[in-house]
Amino acid sequence: MTLGADAAKILAVATIQRSPSLPATLRLGGVHLTVTDVDRAIAWYERALGLQLTHREGDTAVLGTEGDELITLVADPDAQQPGRHAGLYHYALLYPSRAELASAAIRLAATRTPIQGASDHGTHEAIYLPDADGNGIELAADRPRDQWPEVGSRDFYTGGPQPLDVDALLAVVDGEQPRAQAEPGQRVGHLHLHVGDVDEGLTFYSDVVGFDLIARLPSAAFVSAGGYHHHLGFNVWRGEGVPPAPAEHVVGLRHWTVLLPSDEDAAALRERLETTGHRVEVSDGGFIVRDPWNNALLVTRAN
């Protein structure tokens, strides 16, 4: 009997032990997004978040802070808004301090930028908003690790977030005037994706890729490397069994990036993926692999 491609992949995963955990020093690189109008998107990111245009070529633009490229915008005038399918829920811009998050909040207020919510997750404080095309963004600042709830406890995500104490946050920078530009030190802290099945997501991202499971909810999971609260979350909030993200002409995530500390780490991950039947594509000094719902991950070495 000949196994189909999906069955062969499942068998390959079943015949190996769970992958070694990803290196604790892993960090995330930039996110690449599809937008409909790159000029409008640049103006929004500069005004609302204080990011700087680092370079542009045609309909592709890169923004960040001094020395850090965070977001690549690629224009597709035919792109439609996401529907009921897998894709980006939000990406998080992580600020180096609570004060910098408070400064970002002041900038949002001064520019009258609409937000969708604000939460205290115990591990970090967060403000949620959409960009000009509706791509979800979380602005976040971590608490010191010794203040985090215990992993596995009810307070570690499984109990849900608390409302953000905005007054206490703003008190950190009381009297500060809005800044036109964000300070250096921001980075992409985590990604959160819509998928079709949480268990299948864990099979891919934990058993094969090597992220450690941090919290499992009935409809979502959070995974990370090195004991971080999460480098990646994924959920079925668009519905269980939603189809993959369309290959083109949709606003949202083009790919996100994992930076590994060595070429050997990247080669080991690539071997695991290929051994378990996952196709990899050479790209940008590394390789791209897609999860079961066509969400693309670029793996490369940190500079």
Q: What is the per-residue pLDDT across 83-123, written as a single tens digit (0 to 9) for each?
A: 999 999 999 999 999 999 999 999 999 999 999 999 999 99
Q: How confident is the model at residue 151 (pLDDT cuts 50, 70, 90)?
A: confident
Q: Is the pLDDT reported for residue 153 higher than 90? A: no
User: 256 - beta bridge partners?
Assistant: 297
Are residues 173 and 106 in contact, defined by beta-carbon separation less than 8 angstroms? Answer: yes
Q: Is the pLDDT reported for residue 184 higher than 90? A: yes
Distance CA 94, CA 14 (A): 36
Backbone angles phi, psi at 58, to 5 degrees: 60, -125
CA of 289: how far to CAs of 53, 68, 117, 171, in Å? 28, 24, 32, 44
Q: Helices 98-110 & 38-49, crossing angle to 10 degrees?
A: 120
User: 234 - beta bridge partners?
Assistant: 193, 221
Would you state the pLDDT for residue 6? 47
Are residues 118 and 127 in contact, defined by beta-carbon separation less than 8 angstroms? Answer: yes
Would you state the pLDDT for residue 284? 78
Least-confidence region, from 5-19, 103-117, 133-147, 194-208: 5-19
Tokens of 275: 């051994």
Distance CA 215, CA 222 (A): 5
pTM for this entry = 0.92
- Dihedral, 252, 254, 258, 263 alpha carbons, nearest 10: 180
Name which of 100, 72, 92 is nearest 27 in CA terms: 92
Least-confidence region, from 3-12, 135-144, 288-297: 3-12
Distance CA 89, CA 194 (A): 6
Q: Is the pLDDT reported for residue 169 higher than 90? A: yes
SS (H, E, C) the chain: CCCCHHHHHHHHHHCCCCCCCCCCCCEECCEEEEECCHHHHHHHHHHHHCCEEEEEECCEEEEEECCEEEEEEEECCCCECCCCCCEEEEEEEEECCHHHHHHHHHHHHHCCCCCCEEEECCCEEEEEEECCCCCEEEEEEECCHHHCCCCCCHHHHHCCCEECCHHHHHHCCCCCCCCCCCCCCCEEEEEEEECCCHHHHHHHHHHHCCCEEEEECCCEEEEECCCCCCCEEEECCCCCCCCCCCCCCECEEEEEEEEECCHHHHHHHHHHHHHCCCCEEEECCEEEEECCCCCEEEEEECC
Average pLDDT over residues 170-185: 94
Q: Does domain 5-301 have CATH number 3.40.640.10?
A: no
Q: Is the pLDDT reported for residue 135 higher than 70? A: yes
**Cα maximum dimension of the chain:** 73
